[in-house]
Amino acid sequence: MLVSFEAAELLKKRAHDFLKEAERLMVEGKYDLCVFSLEQYCQLITEYQLFRLSGSFPHTHSLKLLLKDLSRYMESVKDLLSEKSIVYIGMLEDVYIASRYLPREYEEAEARELLRFVKEVFRPAVEP
């Protein structure tokens, strides 16, 4: 998908807004919306980095596919596809589907652990 520089900057802004929103929702105990916001942050910031580095990004909701593409440009992203992180990436990818289409509720511990992963592992790898 081809986008303009201005549209890419909007992706970055929205990504950061989703991360801030996830932190707020965690405090409020709205765990379902918290994890959905985390997934949206991950997806949008990955699309932003792909655009910044390659000039485009694929139209997909698969975080794994986006990260595989981005790993061609950023060595740090390869760690997110490793055995220790891929489980979290899979959980985040599942959040998109579950939040929209399934009667799935997330527990505080799940939201807290995903928030920790995104802030401590995902973000430093994608936004070094």
Task: Give dist(CA 116, CA 91) in Å, integer.
Answer: 13
In one-letter notation, the amino acid at residue 81 is L
**Could you give the percent of the chain with pLDDT greater than 70?**
98
What contacts 98, CB < 8 A, 6 or more positions away? Answer: 104
CATH assignment at residue 74: 1.20.120.330
**Over the stretch 81-105, which tens digit does the pLDDT of each residue have?**
999 999 999 999 999 888 878 888 9
Q: What is the rounded average pLDDT of the residues 119-128?
A: 96
- Domain total in the chain: 1
Which residue range forms the structural domain that includes residue 117? 5-126
